[in-house]
Structure 1
Amino acid sequence: MPHRQAVPATVTVFAGPTSWIESDAVAQCHQVAALDGMLHVAGMPDLHPGKGAPIGAAMASTVLYPFLVGSDIGCGIAVFPISLKRAVPEKLAARFPDLDTPLDPDRDADDPAWAVLHGDIPGGHTEGLGTVGRGNHFVELAKVGTVFDDAHAGRLGLAAGDLVLVVHSGSRGFGERILRAHTEVHGAGPAADPAAYLAAHDDAVRWGSLNRRLLAARVAHALGAQPTEPVVDQCHNLVEVRDGVYLHRKGAAPGDGRDVLVAGTRGTPSYLVAAHAGADANHSVAHGAGRKMSRADALRRGKAKHTVEELRRTPVGSLVVCGDRQLLFEEAPTAYKRIEQVIGDLVEHGLATPVATTVPLVTYKTPEAGPAQQKDHRRRGFSR
């Protein structure tokens, strides 16, 4: 059995005095720091409370705790260049495919999106392939806006005005199955067999990356373009074994020399950054703007201030494809922190340098469907 550290684990939150950091999120960081074997907890500027553990945190420990990563193992954000003759949001929004309907390896064997699959499907998990999921997951057609570092952007093949697909999705039900297999026996306790957990975990991480490629390919073909390889693909829900220590990331992206897309909201730019975080930040950076309202609060406040139609057109002029009215309110831009503040905190603390922004044109959440179709999707398990 692991023994409690003689010296308490340290906690550092990389946020400025004017940043929106809830006390509950900081309290969760300290609760995690009290776990056996914990060494250091680094809170990112998008830190907010989660179910049992903070979101927007990187947690280093000599003990592996599956619950710190949660069920969406392998969730991440990828950026794919895309070439289109004209980018008219109103026309392109109508051409997005139904990304709630999964690709079936047998039924849809002729779908051209399968060309991105090389080798076997990780873990043999065929359920939910090519689906985006719910919550804060999305597929977005965006254009490169401000370029802060021409040379770095050029190395990625990007320039101002270029179009990209930004895909934020995870392992769907695969990661949930892996976590449930642990919690049904051990609850929130440590992994009894870290190697076995990590083997399943690694399959889910690979599955999530494959799914982002499938999603991008499905959209590219629907818009009349050819799929491309991602220029960025970083997972922000995973365990990394680093120097013999388990580094748990929950809503925190690898920051050790990687390029990371820090997602804004559907109504603000996102930021592509060059990450260079050190050991004090557990080699991690923020993964997005981070919620400042619970879903219930966002729904209640949003309905008092906005109509559904107002939320379908964003402050930057982009369109939102979302047939789930409740989700429109829950994921409204006002439910999130200011992305400019998050990026400013990363820069101020020396964790990352901005390379360019991406500005939304069309953000896809879930297809424009009637209530009966939505109910059918949820019944079939594709509503995560």
Structure 2
Amino acid sequence: MSQEKTASVTVFAGHGSWIESDAVTQCHQVAALPGMIHVAGLPDLHPGKGAPIGAAMASAVLYPHLVGSDIGCGIAVFPIGLKRVVPERLAGRFPDLDRSPEPDDPAWDAVAGDIPAGHRDGLGTVGRGNHFVELARVGTVLDAGHATRLGLTAGDLVLIVHSGSRGLGERILRAHTEVLGAGPAADPAAYLARHDDAVRWGSLNRRLMAARVARALGAEPAGPIVDECHNLVEVRDGTYLHRKGAARGDGRDVLVAGTRGTPSYLVAAHAGPEANYSVAHGAGRKMSRADALVRGRAKHTVEELRRTPVGSLVVCGDRQLLFEEAPTAYKRIEQVIGDLVGSGLATPVVTTVPVVTYKTRDLGPAAQRRDRRRGRGRS
């Protein structure tokens, strides 16, 4: 009886980069699955639930759990024209992105055509975890020609929106796992049809949020100059290329997110087959949420985390989330970008520096007390 050969694994990280051993172990566990061909770990690689995050995984078999529940999650960049930028004033004008816009909100003009899968629940909302909407300023221009083609110059303002398909992707994965667990899709075409709806929904969600924020800040909404998904399956050369926390890197422009207290990098990606045509999607966690919460509370106050080292403000009414998503919980974005460049996977175009980062609405002291009282009543 012949034994199936384990897939190859390549991790794109320099000697000075720290990659958690559990993440590498997960890459090899995935490589041992039937039908796997090649697993590429990007410089932001870190452990996930059941599969590594920051990885691109090619297989002859489609495994929905390798993409996870937030199908269609990605990062989009929108130009925005504002005359006066006072972070303290602008932070207070962000809309409540925990709730969908009202039916008469003019931001709905950004929605053209049918809503994918008819799923309206949560449309126009950011979600929790590492999702955010950020007003940022173009910092250093590193490739003037490419930046000009994108219409970007130093000092320009942009909106960066990181979110996905909210409950739709979760519903799709749950329908699979309740029957087949972590096994392959019984009907790949049927799964891909639902998956494609979630990918389109995620992109629409980012556009609607950008329109909401632009109008709230007194600007006209604009279309994205970059919108790349990093949780998806691509059918490529007859194989299924699963990406979980990895952006498409075959000649595309990608915003590789730093943290709310560090720059992000917009890069021109040119990754080849060894990297499964993929690049990193962000700095990548170096601490679990539990560790970040314990260490953060020992080192920082809430107010320290609401004003970052780059002078930007963070809108976040969830104190636990503030600590879980502290900049110190993530790897150095400069190291991740250096590894992408050193591996020949991407060329930096511009940096973006946060001005205001929205995580979840800031309730204010009175509203927080009301919510706590209501919470006690519900329990």
- Cα distance in 1, alignment partners of residues 154 and 12 from structure 2: 30
Q: For residue 93 of structure 1, what is the aligned residue in structure 2?
A: 91
- Alpha-carbon deviation of 1:7? 2.5
Deviations 1:127-153 (A, max 9, x none): 001100000000000000000111101
Distance 1:374 1:199, change over 3 A: farther
Structure 2 unaligned segments of length 5 or more: list them.
none
Distance 1:376 1:177, change over 3 A: farther
Cα pair 1:72 1:176 within 8 Å, conserved? yes
The one of 346, 353, 362 equivalent to 1:352 is 346
- Cα distance in 2, alignment partners of residues 4 and 55 from structure 1: 32
Aligned amino acid, residue 66 of structure 1: P
The one of 43, 46, 52 equivalent to 1:45 is 43
Distance 1:375 1:211, change over 3 A: farther
- Cα distance in 2, alignment partners of residues 287 and 190 from structure 1: 25
1:123 is paired with a residue whose SS is helix
- Cα distance in 1, alignment partners of residues 31 and 85 from structure 2: 48
- Cα distance in 1, alignment partners of residues 2 and 273 from structure 2: 22
Distance 1:5 1:336, change over 3 A: farther
Q: For residue 9 of structure 1, what is the aligned residue in structure 2?
A: 7
Q: For residue 170 of structure 2, what is the aligned residue in structure 1?
A: 176
Cα pair 1:4 1:37 within 8 Å, conserved? no
> Would you say 1:210 and 2:204 are equivalent positions?
yes
Aligned amino acid, residue 192 of structure 1: A
Distance 1:280 1:149, change over 3 A: same
Q: For residue 190 of structure 2, what is the aligned residue in structure 1?
A: 196
Deviations 1:302-340 (A, max 9, x none): 000000000000010000000000000000000000000
Cα pair 2:67 2:231 within 8 Å, conserved? yes
- Alpha-carbon deviation of 1:6? 3.0
Q: For residue 333 of structure 1, what is the aligned residue in structure 2?
A: 327
Q: CA RMSD in A?
A: 1.7
Aligned amino acid, residue 214 of structure 2: A
2:10 is paired with a residue whose SS is strand
Cα pair 1:138 1:168 within 8 Å, conserved? yes
What is the TM-score with the length of structure 1 in the denominator?
0.95
Q: For residue 266 of structure 2, what is the aligned residue in structure 1?
A: 272
Q: For residue 380 of structure 1, what is the aligned residue in structure 2?
A: none
The one of 142, 146, 150 equivalent to 1:152 is 146
- Alpha-carbon deviation of 1:51? 0.3
1:257 is paired with a residue whose SS is strand
Q: For residue 288 of structure 2, what is the aligned residue in structure 1?
A: 294
Distance 1:25 1:314, change over 3 A: same
Q: Size of the alignment, in residue pairs?
A: 373
Q: For residue 73 of structure 2, what is the aligned residue in structure 1?
A: 75
- Cα distance in 2, alignment partners of residues 110 and 182 from structure 1: 36
User: Where do 4+ consecutive residues of structure 1 move more than 6 Å?
Assistant: 374-377
- Alpha-carbon deviation of 1:118? 1.1
Aligned amino acid, residue 133 of structure 1: G
The one of 179, 184, 195 equivalent to 1:185 is 179
> Would you say 1:21 and 2:19 are equivalent positions?
yes
Deviations 1:86-124 (A, max 9, x none): 111111001101000113xxxx33211111111000110
Cα pair 2:91 2:356 within 8 Å, conserved? yes
1:298 is paired with a residue whose SS is helix
- Cα distance in 2, alignment partners of residues 54 and 247 from structure 1: 14
Q: For residue 306 of structure 2, what is the aligned residue in structure 1?
A: 312
Q: For residue 231 of structure 1, what is the aligned residue in structure 2?
A: 225
Distance 1:138 1:376, change over 3 A: farther
Cα pair 1:4 1:36 within 8 Å, conserved? no
> Would you say 1:111 and 2:109 are equivalent positions?
no
The one of 234, 240, 256 equivalent to 2:234 is 240
Cα pair 1:77 1:166 within 8 Å, conserved? yes
Aligned amino acid, residue 38 of structure 2: H
Cα pair 1:56 1:287 within 8 Å, conserved? yes
> Would you say 1:365 and 2:363 are equivalent positions?
no
Q: For residue 126 of structure 1, what is the aligned residue in structure 2?
A: 120
Distance 1:5 1:288, change over 3 A: farther
Aligned amino acid, residue 54 of structure 1: P
- Cα distance in 1, alignment partners of residues 82 and 290 from structure 2: 38
- Cα distance in 2, alignment partners of residues 259 and 340 from structure 1: 18
Deviations 1:62-94 (A, max 9, x none): 000000000000000000000000111111001
Aligned amino acid, residue 247 of structure 2: A
- Cα distance in 2, alignment partners of residues 133 and 19 from structure 1: 30
1:267 is paired with a residue whose SS is coil
Cα pair 1:93 1:319 within 8 Å, conserved? yes
- Cα distance in 2, alignment partners of residues 4 and 30 from structure 1: 20
2:268 is paired with a residue whose SS is strand
